[in-house]
Structure 1
């Protein structure tokens, strides 16, 4: 399997090369040269396969022998060592709960696979690897936990100061060892910009071996296809005909993973790209004009992205056609007020507790199903406890704690939003 750049101006790469590089030299994003289409027999037996078995079958198509089957199977068992249940909220509407991993967010899947893949590929070398990651909340904690104490790998996490929840911050700033957190004076897009600039800086890349743990890295994004298969398989056969999936979205790697699953033959009827007021992609779907903008802080902070990286991958999947994309994806955006109201309403009516991101996905799905018949699945991307201040206020009930960090010291470095300073910091490490 070869991987090409979405900009088409960089050499093709193997899976290993794409994982280590993170970004192609032309500042595009890597995409698989081919996307296999599973036979119908695969879907007939899908509900008999375990989650790691599904993961193995899906990722084997993209690894293409660069990791032996026995090793890949082991990696998937370690990556997917937790459940991803499909929970019924009301008739024909389900939540796919992606928050049962160690950091209580969907990004555990991609981050754990990436960490184990990099560890496998680096076993034959003593060269130190520096992993850079920008986060608007959940990515940083998932990467920190996934790479914690992995030999020969240093992790530098950039997060916007004061714009993530306390729980998220504690998850990435209380570990130490090979995990360093930079608290950047800016927004997520500034953090993401610093990371991208680092990968394009020739001097920096000659002196330090860098890779990315954001969903711009192909090994972070591709495993997100796995749980779409698993979620579909948990539906009753009679509910699998017209399945609509609502994806609360920030950088759109999660949605891209779903689109790839669909291209692999998973019979999903339609996707919903649901955002908070950072509505760059929903606006594009509506107008055919892509206008990146500065991100705005919200209570669903993991989606506070004004210029999502993975949009270029979405375009690539549709050969740049707005019309084709719009036929398969509908966009919705919601305010904090609407999000809060959804948390309160769903809890009052069903007893189900939404987090602010899942609430955005729920709202889009509810709106779509009023116009179109089908079975709806929305992705619950984070545990409600991670946003307990917001959630508890709306449901008027205290949530049971899942993990406490109050006894652990926060270790972060305050950092200015300046690439020259960031580059000097990396070179001096």
Structure 2
């Protein structure tokens, strides 16, 4: 990849931050990263299965990079609207279907059933390439015995609103599924299974990405029950009893059915943050990657970032200006209950981070920020994230907007939309999760 020209951070701070976001996203595009991880064609057939927000782009990249004379077929499911335009002259060999995210729907159920059916009857000579990326947990839904799709939808919705960490949510999802938590790889045995994954989770644990459909699962039914109890999420009595008896256990490390299953990470949050940092340094701005594994309540993470930025702006410590602070990971939003008749708040992790950040910055001079989800969608709205500037609070006050009120209603979208400070990219066709950048001049 050639390094793009970027805006002058001193005269165009917000366009400069958007440049860094675009560079981070570009680093995670499958066409740039997939080729180095591909094996040669097998003696038998090559089957492609997959799920995730990057699924459409990963399938196209594989079609472009796989030998034209080598057979290739399969099925991948991605989110509605996340199939990239097909390049001219690129023949389609992998079927791509769309389903709902973050709450599963009937299309995702149908795709999961078809994928499990395709995995039947494979031999030792066959190769299964699984294209896995964030969002696959919702897109690849096959409820455990005793659960209907409506049950999975409700449980998923309540998990999303609970403030549970991604690892906790996926622990539950694995044990309430017939395809996640290593079960897809088990279904493919005795074929070789090569999982090519784009990580969207703190720590890049392959068993957490899309709930690890091809990865042995060390968590237990008891762990899943603990999460459900911690967040007071109800499940049918017979399913609860099945968990208590350990009847919904996932394939564990050492399971012989997964002996020929391998995972390769083709893109990670750390790599994207490093690309953004390199671009900032090339523009003469010191760059500090705080972490690619940050978790916690979005608004609270925003406050922590604000405290650090204010220290730099006021005291040149612990970093010296000018500099940019970069971070990634996956924060959470706990949706607060509202009085009857109150309009539903609109907002995701990145927007709520920016609300908490703006509130804590208190109009600090010399600090600009951008936070966005690298898949281009912050929660369920049409924006990727939002921007914060030194005059954000002053403009909000002039418009009659209250940061505290919008935080109470989890309505970051409404706040930043009114200010014209939403970041809108459309689907990016990849997903390495949260991207945050604070420029301090």
Q: TM-score, normalised by structure 2?
A: 0.35
Q: TM-score, normalised by structure 1?
A: 0.36
Comparing both structures, which one devotes a greater share of its residues to helix?
Answer: 1
Q: Which has the larger radius of gyration?
A: 2
